[in-house]
């Protein structure tokens, strides 16, 4: 959010313009960029909160509280226990995602990649390789856990 102040001014010679990038297919506006930054920050905070909750709370207490909270679903004859189990199993792997992301970031830092010297396609290639390794490692861990 701090770097958003360095964006070009809102007005141009031809009048008001909030468009930062227009590629005919994709249009990036100031409001869209601000919304994306806010949404990504909130998503990160939610995942970190879930990770902290799973670390500090016993699973039995967490399951009981979520089951109590979802009591209205049983009045609608929905499978409350299955929903609780699915939710807790999915939250269990949030911590794993953060650990793999940290390992990938440390791997890039330890290799000393000079991003300023790379061409755009080379940078994109490295990012794609990082994401593919991240997902491969995560899927391997999930398969081992099941």
- Residue 8 DSSP symbol: P
The three-state secondary structure class of 15 is strand
- Each residue of 108-118: pLDDT tens digit? 888 887 878 88
Cα diameter, the chain: 63
pLDDT in tens, the chain (146 residues): 566 666 655 555 555 567 777 778 888 888 888 899 999 999 889 888 888 888 888 888 888 898 999 888 888 888 888 888 888 887 777 777 788 888 888 888 888 878 788 888 888 888 888 888 888 877 787 677 66
Based on the number of CB atoms within 10 Å of its own CB, is 84 exposed (0-12), middle (13-18) or buried (19 or more)?
A: buried
> Are 106 and 134 a contacting pair, CB within 8 Å?
no
User: What is the reported pLDDT for 68?
Assistant: 92
Q: What is 50-75 written as a DSSP string?
A: HHHHHHHS-HHHHHHHHHHHTHHHHH
pTM: 0.55
Residue 29 — φ and ψ, nearest 5°? -115, 170
Query: Helix axis angle, 120-145 relative to 94-111, nearest 10°?
Result: 140
> Are 70 and 80 a contacting pair, CB within 8 Å?
yes
Question: How far is the C-alpha of 8 from the C-alpha of 10, rounded, in Å?
Answer: 7
Question: How far is the C-alpha of 58 from the C-alpha of 27, rounded, in Å?
Answer: 46
What are the tokens at 95? 């911590």
């Amino acid at each position: 959010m701090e770097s958003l102040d360095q964006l070009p001014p809102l007005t141009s010679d031809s009048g008001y313009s909030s468009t930062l990038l227009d590629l005919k297919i994709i249009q990036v506006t100031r409001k869209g960029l601000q919304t994306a930054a806010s949404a990504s920050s909130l998503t990160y905070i939610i995942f970190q909160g879930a990770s902290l909750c799973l670390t500090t709370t016993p699973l039995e207490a967490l399951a009981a509280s979520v089951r109590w909270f979802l009591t209205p679903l049983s009045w609608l004859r929905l499978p409350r226990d299955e929903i609780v189990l699915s939710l807790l199993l999915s939250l269990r792997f949030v911590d794993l995602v953060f650990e793999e992301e940290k390992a990938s970031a440390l791997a890039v830092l330890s290799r000393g990649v000079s991003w300023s010297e790379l061409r755009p396609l080379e940078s994109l290639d490295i990012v794609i390789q990082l994401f593919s390794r991240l997902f491969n490692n995560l899927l391997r861990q999930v398969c081992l856990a099941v």
